[in-house]
Amino acid sequence: MSAAAGWLLAIDTATNTIVVAAGTAAGQVIATDAFEGRYRHSQELVPAVARLLAAEGLQLHDLAGVIVGTGPGAFTGLRVGLATAKTLAHELRVPVAGIPSSEALLAAAAGPSLLWLPSGPRGLLRVERGGAPQVVSGDGAEIADSDLAVDLEGRAPSTALERGREALAALGPALLRLGAARLAAGDADDPELLVPAYGVQPRGAQGLPADGGVAWSRDPR
């Protein structure tokens, strides 16, 4: 890939796994990395991007667009990913496309049409392919071996957990495919309106609309 052609960066911090990937403007993978974030997304994400660029000889001034997973997921991880994506897009004056992490995980999986994610310490999120996430009680959930289960160790069948790990490993390429298609069609997001979908609402936000998200404030304080 020539530098003039530009390249795309995809990142996802919706789960315990930090995902970074670089690809062509057509969504073809240049390099990808996925590793356990150890709840240190804020310390690990930017160095991971820097390592990927250095390993592949990519330059930020050649970046053509940013793709970011929007969840659903944990508050801290999503905040780090969205803030990093928005900052890069703003400073480098490139478009940004938000892709639901759940949609990308299901796209990365070969076959399963049902994804399960944690929602707080006891609840679960049930996401059907093409549908909206639904919060269900962990006690009443029936996770099948054929489903995807992510970050649910001890709460889901081992086969579903393994399918989830495989989907996480392929999440970077899936984000690139989905995001590149949107950007190629001119369907970028307004960074100020791009908000995450939380697996559970952050502390102090109970009672707000579930799909309201949290936008950047213009107040400099």
Tell whether 176 is covered by a domain: no
Q: What is the CATH number of the domain that holds 95?
A: 3.30.420.40
Per-residue b/e over 60-74, b at no fewer than 16 CB within 10 Å?
A: eeebbbbbbbbbbbb
The pLDDT of 170-185, averaged and rounded, is 98
pLDDT at 140: 57
pLDDT at 82: 96
* Residue pLDDT, tens place only, 109-124: 978 889 999 987 788 9
Give the total number of structural domains in the chain.
1
pLDDT at 151: 94
Percent of the chain with pLDDT over 70: 86
pLDDT at 221: 34
In whole angstroms, give the CA distance from residue 95 to residue 64. 7
* Confidence (pTM): 0.88
Domain region containing 65 = 3-100
Q: What is the CA radius of gyration of the chain?
A: 17
Tell whether 95 is covered by a domain: yes
Tell whether 64 is covered by a domain: yes
* Residue pLDDT, tens place only, 145-161: 999 999 999 999 999 99
* Residue pLDDT, tens place only, 8-18: 999 999 999 99
pLDDT at 4: 41
pLDDT at 180: 98
In whole angstroms, give the CA distance from residue 33 to residue 18. 8
For residue 34, what are the β-bridge partners?
19
Nearest CA-CA partner of 66 in 171, 168, 182: 182
Tell whether 76 is covered by a domain: yes
Tell whether 54 is covered by a domain: yes
Tell whether 169 is covered by a domain: no
Question: Which band of pLDDT confidence, cut at 50, 70 and 90, is reported for residue 216?
Answer: very low
pLDDT at 213: 42
Tell whether 77 is covered by a domain: yes
* Residue pLDDT, tens place only, 67-123: 999 999 988 889 999 999 999 999 999 999 999 999 999 999 978 889 999 987 788
pLDDT at 98: 98
Average pLDDT of the chain, as a whole number: 87
Question: Which band of pLDDT confidence, cut at 50, 70 and 90, is reported for residue 42?
Answer: confident
Tell whether 11 is covered by a domain: yes
